[in-house]
Amino acid sequence: MADSLTLEIADFEHDVLTGIYSEETGKPQPLRFTITVKFRAIDYYDPETPLEASKNYMDLKFAASDAFPEGLHFKLIESVADHVCNTLFMQDERVEAVTVKIVKLALSEKNEKIGITLHRDRR
């Protein structure tokens, strides 16, 4: 069995054009992302191991922010999560699986967390 490395960015907030209701369309909504990436590990990480042997954490942040096409409206947050997964798979062939949790902050009335979690293995 091969080793794997799990990278994560938790509770990253970014505004995304998403929603199906009239009050949601046309304006960005705040979403909270937690992204976990299962990554093929190398045999050993010594103190001098270069960044290229792993994955830059900022790639996860990029996938949930700057990687969204400008002006594109996602009806469902499921499609937002799918876009994040696809972006991370395209960035690096060593990414084996991605889990994206999204919480829609605008829907919270009493601090509940309303959202979805999508897990996708590389196909």
pLDDT in tens, 48-95: 999 999 889 899 999 999 999 999 999 999 999 999 999 999 999 999
pLDDT of residue 23: 78
Q: Residue ranges of the alpha helices (H) in 1-123? A: 57-63, 77-91
Tens of pLDDT, residue by residue over 23-51, are 778 889 999 999 999 999 888 999 999 99
Q: How far apart are alpha carbons 24 and 77 in whole angstroms?
A: 12
User: What's the one-letter identity of residue 48?
Assistant: E
Question: How much is the pTM?
Answer: 0.92
Asked if residue 108 has pLDDT above 80, the reply is no
* Alpha-carbon distance values, 56 to 30, 72, 98, 120, 121 (Å): 24, 26, 15, 20, 20
Domains of the chain: 4-121 (3.30.1130.10)
